């Protein structure tokens, strides 16, 4: 994929644009806001340079599509050469330096959401430990676009951590 690729969201993410993610009064929901399109190449590079403190990096390896309430961003990480966007892992880089791969691909990400976990919840150790809470509207989107990928949020998070154990080190190497 190149930085000039189409910035429209793939159909599974487009289907989520009408869903309001609720965090809830007890903080037991999903802290996530989905953008209507991927950030531009320029916006993504500006964000990644600010996040890393490195003026030499670009954001070419990311397609940012959402954020949490503190400004942490969620993106597809274009790490699998020649794989379609929907097969790329989903990552979250938080406003306070927290980061991680939250799902191995878009299908797994949909099931993470269906179980009541967003990207922020998947990288925060306290949030990861809470019980799953099925969200029927999100489960319907996951069943529609990824029926063969049904799994629990815990399985999604564990699988992502196993497949991409070096993500944090790779990002930290880019920091100034």
Which residue stretches of the chain have pLDDT < 70? 1-6, 24-27
164 CB contacts (<8 Å, ≥6 apart)?
A: 79, 89, 101, 104
- pLDDT for the residue numbered 1: 43
- pLDDT for the residue numbered 3: 41
- pLDDT for the residue numbered 28: 73
User: What is the domain extent for residue 72?
Assistant: 11-174
Strand partners of residue 90: 76, 103
6 occurs within a structural domain: no
Looking at the structure of the chain, the number of domains it has is: 1
Tell how strand 62-67 and strand 33-34 pair up.
antiparallel
125 occurs within a structural domain: yes
């Amino acid at each position: 994929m190149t930085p000039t690729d189409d910035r429209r969201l793939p159909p599974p993410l487009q289907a989520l644009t009408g869903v309001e993610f609720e965090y809830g009064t007890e903080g037991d929901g999903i802290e996530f806001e989905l953008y209507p399109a991927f950030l531009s190449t320029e916006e993504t590079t500006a964000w990644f340079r600010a996040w890393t403190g490195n003026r030499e990096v670009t954001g070419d390896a990311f397609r940012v599509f959402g954020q949490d309430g503190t400004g942490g961003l969620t993106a597809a990480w274009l790490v699998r050469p020649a794989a379609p966007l929907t097969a790329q892992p989903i990552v979250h880089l938080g406003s306070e330096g927290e980061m991680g791969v939250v799902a191995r691909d878009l299908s797994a990400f949909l099931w993470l959401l269906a179980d009541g976990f967003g990207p922020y919840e998947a990288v925060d150790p306290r949030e990861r430990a809470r019980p799953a809470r099925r969200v029927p509207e999100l489960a319907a989107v996951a069943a529609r676009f990824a029926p063969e990928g049904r799994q629990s949020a815990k399985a999604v998070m564990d699988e992502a951590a196993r497949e991409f154990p070096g993500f944090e080190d790779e990002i930290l190497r880019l920091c100034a």
